[in-house]
Copies of this chain bind each other. A is one copy, B any other.
Amino acid sequence: MHPTDSDCANAIRALAMDAVEAANSGHPGMPMGMADVATVLWQRYLKHDPADPHWPDRDRFILSAGHGSMLVYSLLHLSGYARPTLDDLKNFRQSDSPCAGHPENFMLEGIEATTGPLGQGFAMAVGFAIAERQLNATFDDALVDHKTWVIAGDGCLMEGINHEAVGLAGHLKLGRLNVLWDDNRITIDGAVSLSSSEDIPARYRASGWHVAECDGHDFDDIARAIDEALASDLPSLVRCRTIIGKGAPTKAGTSGSHGSPLGAKEIEGARAALGWAHEAFVVPDDIRQTWLAAGERSADDHAAWKQRLASHSDRAEFERRMAGTLPEGFSLDDYIAGLLADPKKVATRKASEMALEALTAALPETIGGSADLTGSNNTRTKATGPLNAENYGGRYVSYGIREFGMAAAMNGMALHGGVIPYGGTFLVFADYCRPAIRLSALQNTRVVYVMTHDSIGLGEDGPTHQPIEHLTSLRLIPGLDVYRPCDTIETAECWQLSVERSDGPSLLALSRQNLPQLRTEAAENWSARGAYRLQAAEAPRRVVLIATGSEVEIAVAVRAALEADGIGADVVSMPCWSRFDAQPADYRNDVLPHAKPEELLRVSIEAGTTLGWERYTTVDGLRFGIDRFGASGPAPELYAKFGLTPENITQAVKARLQATEN
């Protein structure tokens, strides 16, 4: 007898409860509850080819409810992906297993996005869907014509970011985005009704979505609802009424099945209830064959697509973009040469715009945007016309007042491939999208954050808008390159480095206020070194002044004052800590020489918290910064208030030098 849909779904349930049991940790409830829905989706709708997880025109599947990772691991395994193997499943949640606690895109092919932090998978899916439409408009149906599927739980829908994602997707009419909502009425603490009384379908309709509903345990009804979703031009939410932990005799329908192993007895009962008479981790051949056959469903589509690509006039460009390779010979050298010939005193946010004009003209894959601060972030260029529901081929997204939604969407766009997203907000609002910045770094996505108004230099808007702890708090995120350029040249260099880096995110912290062009040569991209000697001491060197961004100008003035008194001082511009830390020791020791503090005083100047600067100044050095919240007032007065003036710093440095001599 041919295996039924139920048999196929029960294979997922069995693998999920067995793997969680073997790991003695994990989340069986969600995979068991959504096994039926997932079976219909993967066996009847999802366009994919397990033989080539990187097929550019595959549908994207994102398990936003990432704690239910055994669902997607089971689906990948059963559908015929090379990994996870059965042994991988048996090693679920063990060290170095590709079957990590939550799905990780860097551990396993077929995992499109790293999920677990609730709401972000869904919000990244919006970015996948934007990228698909943008590439479709840029190329054509022959090359780009796929869908984005999401499985999301109540947690994903309750998180604030869901509102931003839903609003953005509805506004952009992303009809190829379909979200299957695991409506099991259970959260960790108990019934959803403990904390929510929302009419979710009504909310989605209010934001321009189509909402379909189904019994999540009736295969035909599931298919009917998905068909309904596909027929709609709007993004669709498919409400799947399910029972969490379905099959577990006493724990099904309760939060007891959510986040811990069912236990041997409950599993035995589930096997009986499901009619699954197989040993742990055993999937009968006929069921395996049915799953494998389903996994081969799109092989012909894939072959036809390859043929279309082979003869396509845009093949080279399409392949270049999907590979994430920049156009041959891309550089900003000409633009930088122009700056050297004709120096500009502008804010680095303006310098960023100038660099972006050159960069976006040369890189058609860049997609810009801002969280409603376009005129402040200076993120729009001539090359980046509006991307909206009327024109998906545009290159500038009006993300609205949705910093977190923007950042997550950019992650999704980068993960989709073929585009390089950048987006702007104020640096202080890095906090609003910090969880997505972290996921950019963890997922190794090429996303560029353009964060302007990067200090008290923004002035009157006051402490709510003045970043203080932000620079260093962002530097703490592993894998994120935080740049704070000091002038037009460094800004261009940092932009070049940001787009050239294909394995992770970059963040540019940019000034509101004008800054002089301090660099007078550009034989090398010095920003790539993270820090470099901008000016060398002329008098015998007693001081190294280390500064970033807008404070390099101050360091230069301090140096001039010291040199005038015969005190030699280097100025080191340090646009990127992480890049400097990665330099060879010789280079680092040359820029920041080892010496006793009484011989060489290291001084840092940055309009932010001083914690962390000890790494570069040593504890015995001097650190000028701001270890409290800012204040409202004109920027020059604030710099004076917080002691960040050449006069104050020069005096303090001299006092320290004298004290050391005594």
List residues of chain B with CB within 8 A of the CB of A612. 472, 476, 611-612, 614
B197, A95: Cβ atoms closer than 8 Å: no
A478 on the interface (CB 8 Å rule)? Answer: yes
**Residue from B97, B158, B370, B478 within 8 A of A164 (CB atoms):** B158
Query: When the two chains form their complex, are residues A101 and B460 in contact, meaning their CB atoms are under 8 A apart?
Result: yes
A162 at the binding interface (Cβ < 8 Å) = yes
For A104, A462, A475, the residue with the greatest tally of chain B CB atoms inside 10 Å of its CB is A462
Q: Which residues of B contact A442 (CB under 8 A)?
A: 463-464, 629
The residue that A198 contacts in the complex, of B208, B374, B629, with Cβ under 8 A, is: B208
A461 is an interface residue with CB less than 8 A from chain B? yes
Contact of A155 (CB < 8 Å), options: B26, B67, B401? B401
Hey, what's the 0/1 contact readout for A93-129 against B, CB within 8 Å counting as 1? Answer: 1111100111010000000001111100000000000
Total copies of this chain within the assembly: 2
B631 touches A95 (CB 8 A): yes
Chain B residues with Cβ under 8 A from A159's Cβ? Answer: 160, 163-164, 401-403, 432
Distance, CA A370 to CA B189, complexed state (A): 9
Asked if A117 contacts B464 (CB within 8 A), the reply is: yes
Chain B residues within an 8 Å CB radius of A26: 460
Which listed residue (B66, B208, B405, B469) contacts A160, Cβ 8 A?
A: B405
Instruction: Give the segment of A199-207, A271-279, A495-503, A514-522 that binds chain B.
Output: A199-207
On chain B, the residues within 8 Å of A530 by CB distance are none
Per the 8 Å Cβ criterion, residues 237-296 of A in contact with B are none
Q: How far is the CA of A434 from the CA of B372 in the complex (A)?
A: 21
Residues 131-164 (chain A) with a chain B CB within 8 angstroms: 154-155, 158-164
Kindly state the separation between the CA atoms of A614 and B602 in the bound complex, as whole angstroms. 15
Cβ of A298 within 8 Å of any chain B Cβ, yes or no, is no
Q: Which of A43-51, A342-350, A634-642 participates in binding chain B? A: A634-642
Smallest distance from the beta carbon of A235 to chain B beta carbons, Å?
Answer: 12
In contact, B189 and A374 (Cβ under 8 angstroms): yes
Question: Interface 1/0s, chain A 385-419, versus B by CB < 8 A?
Answer: 00010000000001111111100000000000000
- Give residues of chain A (421-446) contacting chain B, Cβ–Cβ below 8 Å: 428-429, 431-432, 434-435, 438-439, 441-442
Which of A167, A202, A405 has the most chain B CB atoms inside 10 A of its CB?
Answer: A167
The listed residue with most B CB atoms (<10 A of its CB), out of A97, A196, A402, A404, is A196
A629 to B159, CA, bound (A): 24
Chain B residues, CB < 8 A from A463:
100, 104, 442
Which residues of the partner chain B approach A95 to less than 8 Å between Cβ atoms? 631-634, 637-638, 641
| A364 at interface, CB cutoff 8 A | no
CB neighbours (8 Å) of A67 from chain B are 461
- State the CA gap A540–B522 with chains docked (Å): 55
| A residues 60-83 touching B (CB-CB < 8 Å) | 66-67
- Kindly state the interface size class of chain A when it binds its partner: 35 or more
Contacting pair B632 A93 (CB below 8 A): yes
Q: Which residue of B lies closest to A403 (CB)?
A: B159
Q: Does A647 contact B (CB under 8 A)?
A: no
Q: Which of B66, B388, B609 contacts A478 (CB 8 A)?
A: B609
Cβ of A53 within 8 Å of any chain B Cβ, yes or no, is no
Tell me whether A618 is interfacial, beta carbon within 8 Å. Answer: yes
Residues of chain A in range 582-638 having any CB-CB distance to chain B below 8 Å = 609, 611-612, 614-615, 618-619, 627-629, 631-634, 637-638
Once the chains bind, are A171 and B196 in contact (CB under 8 Å)?
yes
| A6 on interface, CB distance cutoff 8 Å | no
**Which residues of chain B come closer than 8 Å to A403, judged between CB atoms?**
159
Rounded to whole Å, the gap between the CB of A263 and the closest CB of chain B is: 17
CA distance A161 to B207 in the complex (A): 16
The smallest C-beta distance from A189 to any residue of chain B, in angstroms, reads: 5
State whether A187 touches B629 (Cβ < 8 A).
no
Chain B residues contacting A631 (CB-CB under 8 Å) are 95-96, 100
- Say yes or no for A373: interface residue by CB 8 A criterion: yes
From B104, B399, B465, A195 is in contact (CB under 8 Å) with: B399
* Distance, CA A637 to CA B195, complexed state (A): 37
Tell me if B629 and A478 are in contact (CB < 8 A): yes
When A100-B462, A104-B462, A158-B167 are in contact, do A189 and B398 touch as well, CB less than 8 Å? yes
Q: Are A158 and B472 in contact, with the CB atoms below 8 A? A: no
Chain B residue contacts of A207, Cβ below 8 A = 197-199, 203
In the assembly, what is the distance between CA of A612 and CA of B202, in Å? 48
B615 touches A618 (CB 8 A): no
**A170 and B198 contact, CB distance less than 8 A:** yes
Say yes or no: is A25 at the interface (Cβ < 8 Å to chain B): yes
Asked if A23 is at the interface of the complex by the 8 Å CB criterion, the answer is yes
User: For A101, A154, A199, A629, which residue has the most chain B Cβ atoms within 10 angstroms?
Assistant: A101
- Kindly state whether residue A528 has any CB partner on chain B within 8 Å: no
Which residues 464-482 of A have a CB within 8 angstroms of B?
A: 464-465, 468-469, 472-473, 475-479
| Interface presence of A361 (CB below 8 A) | no
- In the complex, whether A459 has a CB less than 8 A from a CB of chain B is yes
Known: A167-B197, A202-B203, A469-B477. 5 other contacts (CB 8 A): A100-B632, A117-B464, A158-B167, A160-B161, A171-B195
> A interface vs B, CB < 8 Å?
23, 25-26, 66-67, 93-97, 100-102, 104, 114-118, 154-155, 158-164, 167-168, 170-171, 187-189, 194-200, 202-203, 205-208, 370, 372-376, 388, 398-405, 428-429, 431-432, 434-435, 438-439, 441-442, 459-465, 468-469, 472-473, 475-479, 609, 611-612, 614-615, 618-619, 627-629, 631-634, 637-638, 641
Report 27 cross-chain contacts, Cβ distance below 8 Å, ordered by A residue: A25-B459, A95-B638, A100-B631, A100-B632, A101-B461, A101-B632, A102-B632, A114-B464, A115-B464, A117-B465, A154-B401, A155-B401, A159-B164, A160-B405, A162-B163, A187-B400, A189-B373, A195-B401, A195-B402, A198-B207, A429-B435, A431-B438, A442-B463, A468-B478, A476-B611, A612-B614, A614-B618
Per CB-CB distance, the 10 closest pairs between chain A and chain B, nearest first, are: A160-B160, A195-B400, A163-B163, A95-B633, A100-B632, A202-B206, A469-B476, A116-B464, A614-B614, A93-B460
